[in-house]
Structures are given as C-alpha cells and as structure tokens.
Amino acid sequence: MEREKKGAVGVVGVLKAVEAAREDPSEQNLESLLRLAYGYDSFRQGQLEAIQNVVAGESTMLVLPTGAGKSLCYQIPAMILSGLTLVVSPLLSLMVDQLRKLPAFLPGGLLASSQTSDEFHETLQRLRAGDIKVLFVSPERFLNEEFLLIFKDALPISLVAIDEAHCISEWSHNFRPSYLRLRASLLRRKLNVQCILAMTATATTQTLEEIMNALEIPSNNLVKTSQIRDNLQLSISMSDNRLKDLMLLLKSSPFVDMRSIIVYCKFQGETDYVSKYLCDNNISAKSYHSGLSMKNRSRVQELFCSNKIRVVVATVAFGMGLDKSDVEGVIHYSLPESLEEYVQETGRAGRDGRLSHCHLLLDSTTFYKIRSLSHSDGVDEYAISKFLYQVFSCDNPMGSICSLVKELTSRKFDIKEEVLLTVLTQLEIGGQQYLRLLPQFSVTCTLYFHKTSPQLLADKDVLVRSVLNKSETKDGNFVFEVTKIANDLNITVNEVIDHLQQLKFSGEISFELKDPAYCYVILKKPDDLNTLSATITKWLSEVESSKIMKLDAMFALANFAVKGCQRTDGCSGSQHTQCIQKKITEYFSKNKATSDNDCRAQPHKSSPFLQADIKVFLQSNSFAKFTPRAVARIMHGISSPGFLSATWSKNHFWGRYVEVDFPVVMEAAKAELVKFVGKGE
C-alpha cells in the first residue's frame, strides 16, 4: 500500500518535471527530470548537450564511448516531445533489451519481421491508440511501404534515433546494406521527420562525415567525447601459444581475482574448444556465438549476468547491448579486425567506472588468417557486369515485380549474398535510382488442394485461376512464383500471401514457401551497363581495401605496443594504456585508416613455389571452371558461394598461401589460367 502511494507520487513528480522541461529545457529542469525519472544526480559528458539539441528539433550526431549512456539521450527527449520516437536498431536482441530497459512511464513497442502476425497487429493497435511513445524497428522495415504508410497521416514522429549509426557507412567496421537506405531525404519524404539523432561509440572522421551527410546533420551539431573510457588498463603481449598464455593470464593477477571476464575469439570453433579447455582446468566458462540457438545464447548470457559462470568465451556476436556493469576483464584471444572493434569490445569492461583490465594476445598466424578472410567480399568487374545484366534482364515489364533467389544467384556469380544486397541497394540509392527494393520474400510456392478441385476453386477465385495459369505441376502439386501472380493480378506479394492464408484458414488449401529472394521493381534501365559495372566494382574494391587498412592499423598498433613503445611515457612491461589511448585517439581523428609504416604487417610478396603449385592445382582440377579470384581464394583457404569450404577444404592446396598477399596470388593465378586456356586444357 505504502509502495503504491510512493509510486503514484513518483509518476506525478516525473510528469510535472516533464512538463517543466517541455516549457523550458534548461539544464536545471532537465537535471531535475533525470533525478526523478532515473535517480541519477547529474548528466554524463555529452548527454545534456545532445538532449537539448534534440529537444530543440536539431538533428544531432552523438559519439559517446560504450556504456556512457546514449540511450538516455533519446529516452528523455521521447518523454518531452509530443510525437513518437522511432529507434532504429540493428539486432532484435538489442531491441528487446532496450525495450525492457525503458522507464516504466515511457511505454514502448517493437516491430520486427520475426514477430507473429498477432504480435504485429497488437503493436499496431497500441501505436494507433497512442499507447506507444518509443517504437523500436529494424532498418529492414524501411523497405516496407506498408510500414511507412502507418505513419502517413495519423502518427506524427518527433524523432528518429539511429543506434549503431556507423552501420550506415561502408567505411565503418560494421557496414550494413540495409542501413544504407536511412537517408534524411527518405525519412523526411516518407515519415515527415525533421529531427534525427545518430548514435555510435566508434566512428572515424571519415565515417562520421558520411553519416552526417546521409542524415543531413549540420557539422556544428556533432557531440563527441573521447571514444575510450579512461578506467581501462590496456595491455598487449606477443604469444606463440595462446592457450597456454590465456591460462597463465587467468591464473595470475589481476585476472585471477576477477569474477567476470569476457574472452573474445575470432572463430566459433575456437570459442568452443577454448571454453572446454578452461572448464577442464577448473575455470567456469561457456562459449557464445551465433551458431548457438537463441535459447542457448540467452541462457549463457543469463548465467554470465548472474555471475554463475566466470568466463564467457565469445565471438564478436556477444556483447552488443550487454549492460553488465561489473565485467572486470576482457581478453582478446584473437586480434580484433579493427580499432573500432577493439574499442567496442574492451568497452564491455568497467561500465561501472571501476578500474578494469583488457589484455590482447597477439600472434601473427591469426593476423594472416583474418587478413586473408578480409578478401572474401571481393568481386571482379565481369562478375558484377553479369549480375547487372541479370538484374535488368528481368522479363517483366518496367514497374512490375522482379525477384532473384538469393542462394542461387549468389552461387551463380560466386558473390556473397550480403554483397549482392549492397549492389542492389546502391542501384536504388546511388546517384541515379534504377530500381526500388522491396522486402525480401520466399518466392517459390507449392500449393496443395484439399477440399474443392483446383478447377472448381479457380472458377470462384481469381487468384487460384492465376495460379493454375502460371504454375508447373510437380508430383501432382502446383508450383509457382509468387511474384508472377502478384504481377498478373497487379497486387503486392503481401496481398498474394494474405489471400493464400485466407484460403488456408477456410481449409481449401495448404501451401509451402521456399527460396528467399531479393525483390525489386525496375524504374529505369541503365544506358551503359559496362560503365555502371566498372563504377560499382571500383567502389566495392575501395571498401575491401578500407577493411584491410583497418585490420593493418589494428595489427600495427598491437605490434607497436609489444615492440616499440618502451619510449612512451607511462608504458612499462606489457602495460600499454598510454600509447594505445594515444594511438586510438589519433586513429579516430584521422580522415582515413592508416598505420605506422615501421609496424605494419608485410604479407609476403611472392613465394618460389606459388606459380608451380597453381599449375599443378589447375591440372588436377581441370573439371572445374576457375577465375583467378576463385583460385586465389582456394590458395588462401577462403570459402565462397561457388567454391564452398565443405568441398574444397579437402584439397591439398587449400589455405597453403595464406601468408602471401592475396593480389599476388590472384596475379599468379591469372598468368597460369591464361597459359592453361591457351593450351586448350
């Protein structure tokens, strides 16, 4: 009873503070709201400025370290502003977490493609009734016209907050094609949004420039503090035997006294055997990676958060949105792929502000392996050109829906699905809009009739009639492409599926969908496909080089720390906080990723046996059709859609030349292929 009364008084107090801050968003009023709503005494660096900007309707770029409190910078404006706050977030687990952490008097919801239709409609209903103030959505939602229409008249949006905004930039360490569509122009046109808050913990100057351009954030609305917290002790050591050195670390000070440690590995398999090794040595540990089921992952996170296990051995998949304040140590078993990743991952330690320790085990073999994998997104101009021909050769007339089955297309052109999507997105939002992307659907449908005969049902139902006209029969069932029916009847793919669902509920039919596909509508065919292919390939290869530069910069920093930093004040033994902090600050303020020449990795520029080995490889595998890139990938041990590791890793040459620079291997392969083809082999 007493508690209820207190709660009621609390809410009234907060509402009054919200009202006061709405009338005058002064430091004093906002601080009083912070105290009443969250119980915190003062704002952390950067928070007040960002909140005041946003409340004044000014789009803002906010760069705060991990765990510094970015969420508060959209939550407080969401209380004050009259309309809805839309928060774009890259991961479902992150959205669920952020939704759970909203203060009780700030009602929220989320719209995700994994929701059931009932959950989706319930959220819509609450939205329309004005019962939601903060709505979390994935970037993919912005492809969906129906989603955008929800806001057309009825629901004014006051603010769009974009979390992990670095995903917008292809120069970031974590580029996501679906984030590319988040442009100020689209948000303004489709959602009538004037104010955008972009948030990230890690962005170089180049990445920031690109985000701010895309979102039209004025340059003086950048709120940025140091990207690394100074309660982190950073150290690095060279390791020839990482398992042994990891054990040594965990058994000696300061790690031996810690209750909560994250060990980061590059590969899923690595996390499993490292955690098993730790368990065998009486250290309570569990592995975590995206290959585990959602349920298992939640279980490991829960066990870790409640301190029931001491160590989580994880890939990069662990930690986004993890708000465990008392992680005392982070150990990098593998080199992070960039300084951004290093800053993000070390930032999971010491969120409570207490002194925490981060150690990196450096070994050059892992570095070469990761460097080699950085080439897995690379593409050749003629493959892009062939892909573009297919995109625009869609038999359907302009304006109708086209589709490309993801797996099939990826295998055919030997280009990863993610890269295909990047190219399609570029065709939509590049200088010229050639197409409009639609949400992805499974396009191949098999239909089974249960009650009425197909012909009789077709007489009554126009969609069934179209299905009978457009399908093939396989084993007595009707198989068709959903897009063909949508085009035939001039309706959307969603409408086709809805109609099939209704027939299913009435017991007439059942159906199965397969073959997830990219769907799009062509708006304009390019005049010169060759020039377009060349431009896109050049851009993709710049993105690939930037990724390698980032890794090289990370390696150079680690190498500098272990080999050359004795001269730096404050560094001693394996303690390198001073020099690492300095290098990180320099890196984030430079325009492009660069690395110290003297500490940069130098992959081998040649090998005496390379050419001869490629020759033998081509002779013994003359049944397959190779490109220079495909040969180089096999020599580097890189799986690709056309040459999967499941088949090719058994080959004698798989991964043999991982330490020779990839372009050098490609050149050698090209020379051999020319000879090979010349001989008519």
Ligand X SMILES: Nc1ncnc2c1ncn2[C@@H]1O[C@H](COP(=O)(O)OP(=O)(O)OP(=O)(O)O)[C@@H](O)[C@H]1O
Bond from prior residue into 254 cis (ω within 30 degrees of 0) = yes
Q: How far is the CB of 317 from ligand X (least distance, A)?
A: 15
Q: How far is the CB of 172 from ligand X (least distance, A)?
A: 14
Q: What is residue 509's three-state secondary structure?
A: strand
Identify which of 178, 101, 216 has the alpha carbon closest to the alpha carbon of residue 440. 178
Q: Which is nearer to ligand X, 319 or 628 (CB)?
A: 319
Contact 202, 169 (CB under 8 A): no
Q: Are strands 232-238 and 84-88 parallel, antiparallel or unpaired?
A: unpaired
Q: Which is nearer to ligand X, 43 or 587 (CB)?
A: 43
What is the CB neighbour count within 10 angstroms for residue 146?
Answer: 10
681/664 Cα distance (integer angstroms): 23
Q: Which is nearer to ligand X, 168 or 482 (CB)?
A: 168
Q: Are strands 232-238 and 356-362 parallel, antiparallel or unpaired?
A: parallel
Q: Which is nearer to ligand X, 315 or 374 (CB)?
A: 315
577/236 Cα distance (integer angstroms): 9
Q: How far is the CB of 444 from ligand X (least distance, A)?
A: 39
Identify which of 433, 516, 455, 510 has the alpha carbon closest to the alpha carbon of residue 482. 516
Q: State which of positions 306-325 bind ligand X (CB under 6 A).
A: 321, 323
Identify which of 329, 296, 303 has the alpha carbon closest to the alpha carbon of residue 93. 296
Binding footprint of ligand X, residue count (CB under 6 A): 15
Identify which of 138, 160, 144, 135 has the alpha carbon closest to the alpha carbon of residue 89. 138
Q: How far is the CB of 32 from ligand X (least distance, A)?
A: 13
Q: State which of positions 90-129 bind ligand X (CB under 6 A).
A: none
The residue with its CB nearest to ligand X is 69
Q: What is residue 443's three-state secondary structure?
A: strand
b/e sequence 481-505, b meaning 16+ C-beta within 10 Å: bbbbbbbbeebbbbebbebbeebee
Q: Which is nearer to ligand X, 66 or 483 (CB)?
A: 66
- Look up residue 541 and give its two tokens: 């290869």
b/e sequence 4-32, b meaning 16+ C-beta within 10 Å: eeeeeeeeeebeebbebbeeebeeebbbb
Beta-bridged to residue 109, according to DSSP, are 135
- Look up residue 374 and give its two tokens: 């950085």
645/597 Cα distance (integer angstroms): 34
Query: Which of 201, 423, 610, 668 contacts ligand X by CB under 6 A?
Result: 201
Distances (CA, A) of 157 to 154, 369, 647: 10, 46, 51
b/e sequence 201-233, b meaning 16+ C-beta within 10 Å: bbbbebbbbbbbebbebeeebbbebbbbbeebb
507/379 Cα distance (integer angstroms): 48
The verdict on 40 binding ligand X (CB under 6 A) reads: yes
Q: Where are the beta strands (DSSP E) in 37-101?
A: 60-63, 84-88
Q: Which is nearer to ligand X, 40 or 389 (CB)?
A: 40
Q: State which of positions 56-85 bind ligand X (CB under 6 A).
A: 64, 66-72
Q: How far is the CB of 67 from ligand X (least distance, A)?
A: 5
Query: Which of 22, 35, 44, 670 contacts ligand X by CB under 6 A?
Result: 44
Distances (CA, A) of 524 to 315, 419, 517, 518: 42, 22, 21, 18
Binding mask 445-474 for ligand X (x = CB under 6 A): ------------------------------
Q: Which is nearer to ligand X, 164 or 661 (CB)?
A: 164
Q: Which is nearer to ligand X, 43 or 368 (CB)?
A: 43
Q: Which stretch binds ligand X (CB under 6 A): 43-51, 190-198, 210-218, 659-667?
A: 43-51
Q: Which is nearer to ligand X, 34 or 536 (CB)?
A: 34
Q: How far is the CB of 186 from ligand X (least distance, A)?
A: 25
Q: How far is the CB of 66 from ligand X (least distance, A)?
A: 4
378/543 Cα distance (integer angstroms): 9
Q: How far is the CB of 162 from ligand X (least distance, A)?
A: 13
Beta-bridged to residue 84, according to DSSP, are 157
656/634 Cα distance (integer angstroms): 8
Q: Where are the beta strands (DSSP E) in 401-508?
A: 401-405, 435-449, 472-474, 477-481
Q: Which is nearer to ligand X, 166 or 242 (CB)?
A: 166
Q: Which is nearer to ligand X, 40 or 105 (CB)?
A: 40
Q: Binding residues for ligand X, per CB under 6 A?
A: 40, 43-44, 47, 64, 66-72, 201, 321, 323
